[in-house]
Structure 1
């Protein structure tokens, strides 16, 4: 305590020393430069002194002891988005026929989706490939052509996921590359914000417990950071394979389930 008072007294004397130094410097400049130049130089010196004092005062706070804590929270939200990747594969002796057959199935598939209430913003072509098939036993002679049209469907009509799969199968789709359930962006952001609040509250509780164990109390927040891993998994089993054998008499069932949203926060507190 005595040492702190001495330092405080010394800091009070420093402004007087700087004032004297500034006055002496200004008087020397008066003999060398014009008034405009002198004023600019003097203003620069005053600014430098002010910066020095600000650094001096804030530097004292850097010596404050601190304690750090981390909080992690996990929430579960009901899925409200389903994503499917469907494939239409056709073959023909020539490329034109293979493309035409694929186009006819694609148009039929789109119509079936519209009947179920999906609009064109909920499905799109993800990839379209055409290639020749060769018989390498006969020096790579082309035997026929294959066209693969991959379609991505993403909709919030998750209650109709099974119907969508049945419908695209009946329309002629013969491959399914995956079905997954997740959250719409606005739902994910809302859940993420709530998880961050809970994680921050947990971090404070931990910090208070540690400070109490040391016979201290928490001071100001020094730093806070979001250390959440930016990864958002789609939960629920994925389906993959062919749709061969699935027809109008078949009924594909799906269970959307829930998605886990996590948040992790690191906070550094001063202690007193």
Structure 2
């Protein structure tokens, strides 16, 4: 699905002054966005284990044992070790609550270990999450969908944006009764924008696993152009 949106536009005409020889040509400044909706073909899952114990070493040992189960679950799900990366590892004291003027004190320690895993088979994403939880993970921080290769979609988004920029520049020129000159300035920016979830067929195909809908991602490219206005 292709879409193109106009973000902003500005028109500047030369001022009529006694010093006309110093005036610059009129300028027409426009911004246009080209968009392409794509279906994700991969995802990353952040999951991990939080444990508490009286000492830091006990908390870490308990956490390590549980994390071994997490790594085993990811391996059974067919995820390569090179697609798993530790994203957070912390040991923090647990403090008592402040009450009746008593000084707060350390009552134990909390160990947190989080990994980010790449999942290429989206049909198994829900089952993978279930396996993580059943193997010891007690923290799922989020699922992020992505596209392995967005080069073709990004190219189309650029073409959409350029076409919209040209069309809008000509529309303004005709409406104002002016003639466009050359393109004086040009720049680009862009990125992903998530779309509302709409992948019900994928949710049904996961059977009894945790339902996860990939929906769509929008690749957008915004361009900015400045045209000269002929006298």
TM-based fold match above 0.5:
yes
Aligned ranges 1:116-195 → 2 under 5 Å: 116-135=77-96, 139-184=103-148, 186-187=149-150, 189-195=151-157
Structure 1 residues 209-242: Cα deviation after superposition (integer angstroms, max 9, x where no partner): 333445665443332222x3x45344567xxxxx
Which residue does 1:222 correspond to in 2? 184
Is 1:263–2:188 an aligned residue pair?
no
CA contact (8 A) 1:79 1:258 kept: yes
Seen in structure 2, the aligned counterparts of structure 1 residues 155 and 83 have a Cα distance that, compared at 3 Å, is: same
- Give the TM-score, by structure 1 length: 0.61
Aligned ranges 1:1-272 → 2 under 5 Å: 67-135=28-96, 139-184=103-148, 186-187=149-150, 189-213=151-175, 218-226=180-188, 228=189, 230-235=190-195, 251-270=209-228
Q: CA deviation at 1:162?
A: 0.4
Count of aligned positions: 196
Structure 1 residues 168-202: Cα deviation after superposition (integer angstroms, max 9, x where no partner): 10110111122232334x31x44233212111111
Supply the RMSD in Å over aligned alpha carbons. Answer: 2.9
CA contact (8 A) 1:182 1:235 kept: no
Unmatched 5+ stretches in structure 1:
1-59, 238-249
CA contact (8 A) 1:98 1:147 kept: yes
Unmatched 5+ stretches in structure 2:
1-20, 198-207
Seen in structure 2, the aligned counterparts of structure 1 residues 236 and 97 have a Cα distance that, compared at 3 Å, is: farther
Structure number having the greater helix percentage: 1
CA contact (8 A) 1:180 1:234 kept: no
Seen in structure 2, the aligned counterparts of structure 1 residues 209 and 142 have a Cα distance that, compared at 3 Å, is: closer
Seen in structure 2, the aligned counterparts of structure 1 residues 67 and 98 have a Cα distance that, compared at 3 Å, is: closer
Q: CA deviation at 1:256?
A: 0.3
Q: CA deviation at 1:113?
A: 0.7
Moved more, 126-135 or 209-218: 209-218
Seen in structure 2, the aligned counterparts of structure 1 residues 216 and 110 have a Cα distance that, compared at 3 Å, is: same
Q: Distance in 1 between matches of 2:51 and 2:171?
A: 66
Q: Any idea what SS the aligned residue of 1:232 has?
A: strand
Which residue does 2:5 correspond to in 1? none
Structure number having the greater strand percentage: 2
Q: Distance in 1 between matches of 2:175 and 2:59?
A: 75
Seen in structure 2, the aligned counterparts of structure 1 residues 236 and 215 have a Cα distance that, compared at 3 Å, is: closer
